[in-house]
Structure 1
Amino acid sequence: MVAGWFGGDGDDFRLIGTRCARCASVFFPREDTHCRNPGCAGGELREIPLSRHGRVWSYTDSRYRPPSPYVTDVELPWEPYALIAVELESERMVVLGQAVPGVTVADLAVGMEVEVVPGVLGEDAETTWTTWYWRPKEVRA
């Protein structure tokens, strides 16, 4: 888990961003030092929960094992997964993330409604690596 990027459980699970108090720009991943909007002189950055829902903007599948800091068990065979770019409902910004396990690119379509849900990348005796997934509201037939 990357501290401060997401939190909550069930229907309260959210990605966490920041909003500039001066220009209202929203950032994810969160920004804690300065406003990234080049047209803004800067203002206080406030933590905000981001929309739970959005629409598929684009998608692809991952057919290779990504490099660190991605966590993967090199002892297990690589399993491809769908990667989705989602335009958030309220913020109108695009956030990238994996589809829930079992959803493939054949199940996705641009414009499809999805929601963010908690997920587990992997775990061992000492650590559980958590993340977020995008889950389609309806899987294509």
Structure 2
Amino acid sequence: MVWRCRPVVPGWFTEGGDDGGFRLLGTRCTACSAVFFPREDVHCRNPGCRGGGELVEVPLSRRGRVWSYTDGRYRPPAPYVSDPAVPWEPYTLVAVELAAEALVVLGQAAPGVGIGDLAVGMEVEAVPGVLNEDAGTGTVWTTWHWRPVAA
């Protein structure tokens, strides 16, 4: 079977398979320089922006610092896929501050990273991840994960 990779939400991250080229994608207002993620393609969401400039796509910083984290002990809603017949395994959510963009981005930790592996202020990086694999259609749904940066 030939597997096809598809982003969970098109346009939110680069689709390059290697870690070196992977980046979250946001938008920046040309009038006020505010950066948005998820991306904004209609109008500037900054209430202080007077001009409402053009919104241009920008790659976000690959690395940031843990702002907060927690473990998810419940089955999440769609688009996450969860088979009720399979025992539930907790997952780790990480809120990461991207200083250059002045925003916090939420995402899952990379596989194998739990709350015991994280600390507020720790440096992490965005890496490609898999949300779900559908053997019936041969589709791999891709997303991003946060992974601690090796010291």
- Per the normalisation by structure 1, the TM-score is 0.93
- Deviations along 1:15-73, one digit per CA (max 9) or x if unpaired, are 00000000000000000000000111311000000000000000000000011222233
Identity value in percent: 71
| Equivalent position SS for 1:90 | helix
Structure 1 runs of 4+ with >3 Å offset = none
* RMSD value, Cα: 1.3
Q: Residues 100-124 of structure 1, C-alpha deviation per residue, up to 9 Å, x if partnerless?
A: 1111101110000000000001111
- Structure-1 residue corresponding to 2:17: 9
1:130 aligns with 2:142: yes
Distance across 2 between alignment mates of 1:43 and 1:73: 44
| Segment of structure 1 superposing worse, 91-100 or 19-28 | 91-100
Q: Structure 2: 5+ residue runs without aligned partners? A: 1-7
Partner of 1:24: 33
Match of 1:99 in 2: 109
Q: TM-score, normalised by structure 2?
A: 0.87
- Which structure has more RCO (C-alpha within 8 Å, separation ≥ 6)? 2
